[in-house]
Amino acid sequence: MNNIKIKKTNSAEETIHLGHQVGLLLKPEMTILLAGDLAAGKTTLTKGIGLALGIKAVINSPSFTILKRYLEDEVKLYHLDLYRLDDEGMDFDLEDYINSDGITVIEWPFNVKSLLPKEYLLIEIEIISENKRNFTFKAKGRKYQEVVDYL
Ligand SMILES: Nc1ncnc2c1ncn2[C@@H]1O[C@H](COP(=O)(O)OP(=O)(O)OP(=O)(O)O)[C@@H](O)[C@H]1O
Ligand SMILES: [Mg+2]
């Protein structure tokens, strides 16, 4: 058992496929943190997660809205992008906007550390070249360890 796993993709399509694999392993109440530079592929990976969860709407960048909610009967996906925020003057309470039994995906998670739960699946995305990306999966907490094990 290793709580770190690395996956590589060679195209955006492969990243969507990887997101799909991740999405199939997610359960209600899970939080996924996506770290990586601009255009690393955070939103692209989230598209695949949404497909696996049966989200019908196309997932795109929530950059200008901070939070997008995808509410299906079976599953709720909360997609946050904290790029424009920081801990300074951050007074919003995530619980007011999300239903705790949903799945939460957060881009730029470390911009607002006060919002982060104690346990999560962290996915660090590294840009290798124009089309190549490395994804490092790190589990913080037992239920996330299971996700990493099955990947
Ligand atoms: N292997 C790959 N995986 C993901 N995206 C790739 C890959 N190769 C090229 N790309 C391109 O990189 C871009 C990734 O954009 P995306 O919106 O997913 O990034 P992001 O990490 O969400 O950025 P931002 O911080 O601006 O929200 C897209 O234009 C995509 O086509
Ligand atoms: Mg994005």
32 has a pLDDT exceeding 70:
yes
Q: What ligand has the least distance to the C-alpha of 68?
A: 2
| Nearest CA owner, ligand 1 atom 17 | 43
The verdict on the CB of residue 41 being under 6 Å from ligand 1 is yes
Mean per-residue pLDDT for 21-47? 97
Would you list the domain boundaries of the chain?
4-86+104-135
Q: What's residue 3's pLDDT?
A: 83
Q: What's residue 1's pLDDT?
A: 56
Task: Tell me which architecture the domain covering 4-86+104-135 has in CATH.
Answer: 3-Layer(aba) Sandwich (3.40)
**Which atom of ligand 1 is found nearest the CA of 44?**
18
| Nearest CA owner, ligand 1 atom 12 | 39
The confidence band for 39, taking pLDDT boundaries of 50, 70 and 90, is: very high
Mean per-residue pLDDT for 25-51? 97
Task: State percent of the chain over pLDDT 70.
Answer: 95
Q: What is the pLDDT of residues 82-116, one digit of tens each?
A: 998 887 767 677 777 777 789 999 999 999 888 89
Ordered DSSP codes for the chain: --SEEEEEESSHHHHHHHHHHHHHH--TT-EEEEE-STTSSHHHHHHHHHHHHT--SPP---TTTSEEEEE-SS-EEEEEE-TT--STT----GGGTS-TTSEEEEESGGGSGGG--SSEEEEEEEE-SSS-EEEEEEEESHHHHHHHHH-
The structure's pTM equals 0.95
The confidence band for 63, taking pLDDT boundaries of 50, 70 and 90, is: low
pLDDT, greater one: 121 or 97: 121
Q: What's residue 62's pLDDT?
A: 65
The confidence band for 146, taking pLDDT boundaries of 50, 70 and 90, is: very high
